[in-house]
Amino acid sequence: MKLGTLSTAEFPGFCPTLAMNLALPLILSLIVLPPRTVPQVPQPPQVREHMLVSTKWLAGHLTDAAVVILHVARERADYDAGHIPGARFLAVDQITVTHDKISNELAPAEELKKVFASLGVGDRTQVVLYGERQGLWAARAWFTLDYLGHGDTAALLDGNIEKWRNEKRPLSKDAAPSVKPASFTPRVQPGVLVTLPVVRDLSWQAVNTASPTVVLVDARPPEQYRGEENASDTPRAGHIPGAVSLYWMTALESKEDPQMLPLAELRRLFQSAGIGPGRKTVSYCHSGVQASYAYFMAKYLGFDAALYDGSFQEWSNAGGTQVSMGR
């Protein structure tokens, strides 16, 4: 037999026609069928690491002219009792108003502009926020800056003043420093706020669709979510139908050590509440303050987020809204 030829005599029982008939379907399948695709696993969104600064970082930037530190609290006495050196005092009532008997609503943008400008916060200023209640009011101030289009240049102090104290870092009782007003330009982001009619629609979708793209997040303590506890200004206890419970303090190590949980634990916390890649969060609480921390957490983890500022205080008092009890 010559190289490259086949002889049926040398291979008894071999039939070229039969072999071709058997091979043809395989050849055609390779030509016609599309290549197999590997299922894509949804990747977690990109973490916005710049939204948190460490106590070590802040200690190294106390005298940096481009950094403004804001101590956020209800009363000036909280600031006077001891604040981070160089910090300026931001009162809660400078950034919130009561509107139609609903407390802690966002103040008008023009008023907010004056407040931040008077504190020396400019368009290129790096703002670091901390304050009373484990940084809860600082988170509200961060949400306010984000609403004004300045969230990318603002951060919370991880661990708040509690961590600063625990590390024996310096505190001051000096009067607030003299500040030169800055040029602050609001770039209002209306999409971060949602109103009652929108939440009514989101609630219906959460109850009646298998996989809604928006998750309503109740940032209050679980007892309030379940309706076991209630405030005097909310006539009906419970939660907005379809909302999930994600108490804002569960994102912290502890009340005494209010550092944010490690990234992997934060993601598991969100996953346990049904918040995964591709989903948006709309947070609420009693009056929009605890919800600000839930909003901050969602943004930090890279999610699209919004806040229902009227929160359960408005929802519970509104006509035609439903409430749910239990889990």
Q: Which helix (H) or strand (E) holds 89?
A: strand 88-91
Question: 161 with 189: CB under 8 angstroms?
Answer: no
132 and 212 share one domain: no
pLDDT value for 37: 56
Tell me how far apart the alpha carbons of residues 203 and 322 are, in angstroms, rounded to a whole number.
9
For residue 268, how many other CB atoms are within 10 A of its CB? 12
pLDDT value for 45: 85
217 and 294 share one domain: yes
Structure pTM? 0.86
Question: 76 with 89: CB under 8 angstroms?
Answer: yes
Domain residues for the domain of 299 are 191-317
- For 99-112, how does the pLDDT look when each residue is reduced to its tens digit (9 = 90+)? 888 899 999 999 99
111 residue type, one letter: E
137 and 254 share one domain: no
128 and 222 share one domain: no
Q: Considering its fold, how many domains does the chain have in total?
A: 2
Tell me how far apart the alpha carbons of residues 248 and 262 are, in angstroms, rounded to a whole number.
15
- For 205-237, how does the pLDDT look when each residue is reduced to its tens digit (9 = 90+)? 999 998 899 999 999 999 999 999 998 899 999
| Strand 280-284 with 305-308, pairing | parallel
307 and 205 share one domain: yes
pLDDT value for 99: 87
Please indicate, yes or no, if residue 325 is contained in any of the structural domains: no
145 residue type, one letter: L
302 and 247 share one domain: yes
CATH number of the domain within which 198 lies: 3.40.250.10
232: its two tokens: 């005097």
pLDDT value for 217: 98
pLDDT value for 7: 46
123 and 79 share one domain: yes
Q: Consecutive sets of 10 residues in the chain, 327 residues long: mean pLDDT of each?
A: 42 48 50 53 83 98 96 96 97 94 93 98 97 96 98 98 97 92 96 97 95 95 96 94 97 95 96 92 97 98 97 96 92
160 and 209 share one domain: no
